[in-house]
């Protein structure tokens, strides 16, 4: 694993905004900076934040949030087209169903719910994540992708993109775990629940991402087969994505 310090480029109104570029691939190429960014939701951006995104050349925001999430915190940014890639936050619904039955999950049970959510990303949301990668491929201008906290749907999307570019899994996990340093929890978005449950839901753990990778390997024959199969990227599209996003 070869790491370099990533550029966080913090915004005033989004705590988990950062460049996906800068990392080295397994064969020594570097992911281009300034092309793809990941973030938590963009509804709280200040005027100076918007100016920075515009200065970066960002023209599309790829929004993984569910309908209720977007309705609660909508945004419109001049010059940036929002693209809905809707994935509903099913883990919240599962948790609410348990609480309604008077069941308070343990920390371990909550972790397992999160692991199941990541398996669902792999097996039930592949079409949406495929649309994400194809949008990145088809648009020549910089893009930002996000969900509410920029940690789970966004985290798996980043893992897929970096995997497609040839970044090793240890480096991908490093990028994934940066959320725990960067994201500032917002009680207004979290809903109510036991503190130990909410802590699991609003942070990331290696076990979550491992569950996704395990599903990719065990059920899809590895990342290359998953990208070509369920995700729907042809070998030619994968090669073009690398040409676009890796330094020569």
Please work out, in degrees rounded to the nearest 5, the angle formed at the alpha carbon of residue 209 by the alpha carbons of 208 and 212: 100
User: Would you call 226 exposed, middle or buried from its count of C-beta atoms within 10 A (0-12, 13-18, 19+)?
Assistant: buried
Q: Which of 59, 22, 44 is nearest to 171 (CA)?
A: 22
Q: Taking each helix axis from N to C terminus, what angle separates 126-138 and 235-245, rounded to the nearest 10 degrees?
A: 50
Residues with Cβ within 8 Å of residue 2, at least 6 apart in sequence: 24, 171
Question: How many C-beta atoms lie closer than 10 Å to residue 209's C-beta?
Answer: 21
Torsional sign, CA 179, 15, 161, 61:
positive
The residue annotated as part of the active site, out of 147, 159, 167, 233, is 147
The answer to whether 128 and 154 are in contact (CB under 8 A) is: no
Distance (Å, whole) CA 175 – CA 20? 8
**Is 147 assigned a catalytic role?**
yes
The answer to whether 240 and 248 are in contact (CB under 8 A) is: no
Which residues belong to the active site? 147
């Amino acid at each position: 694993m070869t790491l370099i310090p990533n550029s966080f480029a913090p915004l005033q109104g989004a705590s988990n905004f950062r460049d996906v570029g800068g990392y080295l691939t397994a064969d020594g190429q570097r992911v281009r900076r300034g092309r793809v960014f990941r973030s938590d939701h963009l509804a709280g951006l200040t005027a100076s934040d918007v100016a920075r995104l515009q200065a970066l050349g960002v023209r599309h925001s790829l929004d993984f949030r569910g309908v209720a999430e977007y309705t609660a915190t909508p945004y419109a940014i001049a010059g940036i087209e929002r693209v809905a890639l809707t994935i509903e936050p099913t883990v919240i619904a599962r948790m609410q169903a348990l609480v309604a039955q008077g069941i308070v999950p343990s920390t371990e049970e909550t972790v397992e719910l999160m692991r199941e959510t990541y398996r669902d990303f792999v097996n039930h949301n592949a079409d949406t994540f495929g649309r994400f990668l194809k949008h990145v491929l088809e648009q020549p201008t910089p893009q930002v992708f996000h969900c509410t906290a920029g940690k789970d749907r966004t985290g798996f999307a980043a893992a897929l993109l970096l995997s497609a570019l040839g970044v090793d899994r240890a480096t991908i996990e490093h990028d994934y775990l940066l959320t725990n340093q960067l994201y500032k929890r917002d009680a207004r978005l979290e809903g109510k629940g036991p503190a130990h449950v909410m802590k699991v839901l609003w942070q990331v753990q290696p076990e979550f991402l491992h569950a996704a990778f395990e599903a990719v390997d065990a059920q899809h024959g590895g990342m290359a087969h998953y990208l070509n199969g369920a995700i729907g990227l042809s070998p030619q599209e994968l090669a073009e994505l690398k040409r676009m996003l890796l330094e020569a």
